[in-house]
């Protein structure tokens, strides 16, 4: 029976990814349950440990306990390891060790890597893995140095380095875990331009995806970007700017958030909140004090999320771009969806629509379950469900008060959000057979 289950999981790359992430999450939960993982030496309940492990592995950042005070140093390093594996991808890490040991990467492993990195072919995957590891470690190292230098002004040097390393890895991987204490995130640095800029740059670069990073760092070799990179850069910049402007306008007179702040501080807070919705998970203000219109707008930004092949979740910026392109093409009476003077195949448009509808359905299902199990306002429940699915990690305060059923629902949403709804469908669904016929064409009225 066990062997049959293993063969079934290893029969396709999506199933292998499903099994791999599940194994890492449960292994992480067992480590977090150890008394050595908590600061007070107590054993965490299995559901709470599973929740924390899933949040770290799926680089979400929703927490039941304050990370800085509840967990010990050992617990912090377990969470950090889970974040690193979950952010870069366990197959990428496994390939790294294989390359270090000079072991040949098999065709099956390349296919799993292709699924993990969301690539269209297996060509150049090993080179891409080397780039992923190099860029991730290099950016995390730079971030750690910058954070450590700033933290050294507020704490002893050893503690500053420790905090710098933890926050750099967490924020670059868009995980949202922090050691600030008392669930305060980066609120004490809301007016600190240096901390805001470093954090935003790490979130943005982590959310771009490693394909885009490779294009950016190698621009001198080819002096042009791929269509994918152009779309990611364009949509990401547009969403960040539009998001900052709308948050600024909605919260300008809100005394509970930024209404009493200086004009420059209002812009800084608005820009940071817009960036962190890309899947960052850290915040410099209490989002529960925002107006409902702002909170709903943030839900939309979280649902769109980061970019393919990145450490973030959501339907992805490219999917959003294809949907907007399809709508504009229909309005203009054109058959083709064109982005940056390049025509997209119908398959890409169908996939974008499918992903979006899947994601809407999953968020709706999770929201309905949470609305049944939790005693909270609907907007707060929708916010939490979208944040979990988009692996964002922003919260309006519901996470700490979840019931057991609510925790399991959020775990489910975080897992699907990180793995991807289509990957989960391909993993659990039957193997598609060859279509031997086509049905006659029919017509229905739309709109």
**3-state secondary structure labels for all residues of 180-226:** CCCCCCCHHHCCCHHHHHHHHHHHHHHHHCHHHHHHHHCHHHHCCCC
Tell me how far apart the terminal alpha carbons of the chain are, to the nearest angstrom: 51
pLDDT of residue 126: 65
How far is 53 from 31, CA to CA, in rounded Å?
9
pLDDT of residue 169: 92
Whether residue 222 has pLDDT greater than 70:
no
pLDDT in tens, 77-131: 999 999 988 887 655 655 554 555 455 655 555 555 555 555 555 556 667 677 7
pLDDT of residue 432: 59
* Comparison of pLDDT for 369 and 445, the residue scoring more: 369
Question: Between the CA of residue 8 and those of 11, 91, 422, 426, what are the distances in Å?
Answer: 5, 18, 18, 13
Average pLDDT for the chain: 84
Helix (H, G, I), strand (E, B) or coil at 411: helix
> How big is the chain, counted in residues?
447
How far is 300 from 387, CA to CA, in rounded Å?
10
pLDDT of residue 87: 81
pLDDT in tens, 387-429: 999 989 898 989 888 999 999 999 999 998 887 766 666 555 5
How far is 148 from 142, CA to CA, in rounded Å?
10
Neighbours of 36 (CB within 10 A): 11
- Please give the torsion angle defined by the CA atoms of residues 140, 145, 150 and 152, in that order, rounded to the nearest 10 degrees: 120
> Residues of the chain with pLDDT > 90: what percent?
44
Lowest-confidence segment of 117-121, 220-224, 239-243, 272-276 by average pLDDT: 117-121
How far is 215 from 196, CA to CA, in rounded Å?
25
pLDDT of residue 9: 46
Long-range Cβ pairs for the range 37-46 (8 Å, 24+): 37/71, 37/72, 37/74, 37/75, 37/78, 38/70, 38/71, 38/72, 38/75, 39/69, 39/70, 39/71, 39/72, 39/75
* Comparison of pLDDT for 6 and 213, the residue scoring more: 213
How far is 72 from 358, CA to CA, in rounded Å?
39
Long-range Cβ pairs for the range 122-126 (8 Å, 24+): 126/95, 126/99
Neighbours of 426 (CB within 10 A): 18
pLDDT of residue 300: 94
Where do the DSSP E strands lie in 317-396?
337-339, 342-344
Whether residue 2 has pLDDT greater than 80:
no
Mean pLDDT, residues 326-350 taken together: 87
pLDDT of residue 102: 55
* Comparison of pLDDT for 165 and 21, the residue scoring more: 165
Q: pTM (2 decimals)?
A: 0.88
């Amino acid at each position: 029976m066990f062997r049959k289950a293993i063969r079934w999981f290893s029969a396709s790359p999506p199933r292998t990814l499903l099994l791999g992430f599940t194994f890492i999450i449960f292994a992480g939960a067992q480590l977090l349950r150890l008394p050595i993982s908590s600061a007070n030496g107590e054993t965490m309940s299995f559901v709470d440990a599973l929740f924390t492990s899933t949040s770290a592995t799926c680089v979400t950042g929703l927490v039941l306990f304050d990370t800085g005070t509840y967990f010990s140093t050992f617990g912090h390093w377990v969470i950090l390891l889970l974040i690193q594996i979950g952010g870069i991808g366990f197959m990428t890490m496994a390939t790294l060790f294989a390359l270090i040991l000079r072991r040949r990467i098999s065709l099956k492993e390349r296919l799993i890597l292709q699924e993990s990195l969301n690539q269209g072919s297996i060509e150049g995957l090993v080179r891409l893995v080397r780039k992923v590891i190099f860029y991730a470690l290099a950016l995390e190292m730079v971030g750690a140095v910058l954070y450590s230098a700033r933290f050294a002004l507020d704490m002893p040097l050893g503690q500053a380095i420790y905090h710098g390393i933890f926050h750099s890895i967490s924020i670059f991987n868009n995980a949202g875990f922090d050691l600030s204490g008392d669930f305060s995130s980066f609120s004490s640095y809301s007016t600190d331009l240096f901390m805001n800029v470093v954090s935003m740059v790490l979130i943005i670069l982590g959310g771009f995806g490693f394909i885009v990073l490779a294009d950016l760092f190698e621009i001198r070799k080819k002096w042009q970007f791929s269509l994918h990179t152009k779309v990611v850069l364009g949509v990401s910049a547009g969403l960040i700017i539009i998001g900052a402007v709308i948050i600024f306008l909605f919260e300008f007179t809100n005394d509970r958030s930024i209404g009493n702040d200086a004009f420059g501080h209002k812009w800084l807070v608005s820009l940071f909140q817009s960036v962190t919705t890309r899947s960052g998970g850290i915040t410099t203000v209490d989002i529960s004090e925002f107006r409902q219109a702002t909170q709903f707008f943030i839900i939309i930004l979280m649902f769109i999320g980061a970019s393919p092949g990145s450490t973030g979740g959501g339907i992805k910026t490219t999917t959003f771009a294809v949907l907007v392109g399809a709508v504009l093409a229909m309005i203009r009476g054109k058959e083709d969806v064109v982005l940056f003077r390049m025509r997209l195949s119908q398959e890409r448009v169908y996939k974008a629509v499918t992903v979006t509808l899947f994601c809407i359905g999953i968020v709706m299902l999770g929201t309905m379950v949470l609305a049944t199990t939790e005693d909270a306002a609907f907007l707060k429940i929708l916010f939490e469900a979208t944040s979990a699915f988009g692996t964002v990690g922003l919260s309006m305060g519901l996470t700490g008060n979840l019931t057991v059923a609510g925790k399991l629902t959020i775990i489910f949403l975080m897992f699907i959000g990180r793995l991807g709804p289509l990957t989960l469908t391909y993993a659990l669904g039957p193997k598609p057979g060859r279509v031997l016929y086509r049905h006659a064409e029919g017509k229905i009225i739309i709109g």
